Amino acid sequence: MPYSTIHWIKLEKRLLNDYRFYSMSEEAQLIYVKFLMLAAETNNKIPKNNGLIKSALRSKQSDNKIEECINEIKTNFPKFKENKGFYFFKEWGIRCNWIAKKELPRNSEGTPKDSVDKIRIDKNRIDYIIGAFIKAQDWEESIKNNPALLSEIYKRHTKPAKRIIIALNDDSLAVKAIEKMASTYKRKGLSWTLETVSKHLPELIKSDKDPFVLENPL
């Protein structure tokens, strides 16, 4: 993978005079632009959870209003798609610029690395998430006096920890998701990692009677 991060998204000036855009409510227009930026942060996988979206967009809109805006966007921009777990933009590669090391910004047909690689996140937050993961795995005794094992854990799990932090923007909620994953998978005798948590966030953070119900574990 020759490219290390998404440096910016394309916001064409013609969008201002695009009927599909200006015929939407102003709230939906703003969320559409924010979705483009959020897609860049999440590798074009925006969790289908209005609470998470509200948090990630730093929005004061109600969950119902966000849902209305999403429906407007889906109606006016058919290339804004969804599957069971995520919203995403079709043909995402033409909507952003990839930056390679020691290269000037330009378009490229190369494959980008996960967009979290270069995102700056406070190390204390990463330590908190990985610490919760170590505790949930009952590895606390194993890492004592074993710096090599601890280093390997960080090497493998820092990237998914950052994805979780970006998606939730709530470290306490992230820890609850990790604890729910541990409980569910241990009960079923399955192994799991922070990557598993990252992939199942929409299911782990469902807003129903039990907001941490995990459906169809791998």
CB 193 within 8 A of CB 160: yes
In three state form, how does the secondary structure of 114-168 look?
A: CCCCCCCCCHHHHHHHHHHHHHHCCCHHHHCCCHHHHHHHHHHHHHHHHHHHHHH
- More confident site: 144 or 1: 144
pTM: 0.47
How far, in Å, CA of 177 to CA of 198, rounded?
9
Pseudo-torsion of CA 24, 30, 32, 34, nearest 10°?
180
Q: Which residues pair with 113 in a beta bridge?
A: none
pLDDT in tens, 49-75: 888 888 888 888 888 999 999 999 999
Helix axes 123-136, 171-188, angle to 10 degrees: 20
Q: Does the structure show a pLDDT above 60 at 126?
A: yes
Q: Does the structure show a pLDDT above 50 at 30?
A: yes
The pLDDT value recorded for residue 116 is: 56
The pLDDT value recorded for residue 5 is: 54
Q: Does the structure show a pLDDT above 90 at 26?
A: yes
Helices (H) and strands (E) in the chain, counts: 10, 5
Residue-range domain boundaries for the chain: 5-99, 123-204
pLDDT in tens, 79-124: 999 998 899 998 887 777 654 444 444 444 444 444 555 567 888 8
How far, in Å, CA of 121 to CA of 103, rounded?
24
The pLDDT value recorded for residue 118 is: 57
pLDDT in tens, 133-173: 999 999 988 888 888 898 899 999 998 998 888 888 888 88
How far, in Å, CA of 31 to CA of 21, rounded?
11
Of the candidate CATH numbers 1.10.10, 3.30.370, 1.25.40, 1.10.287, the domain formed by 5-99 belongs to 1.10.10
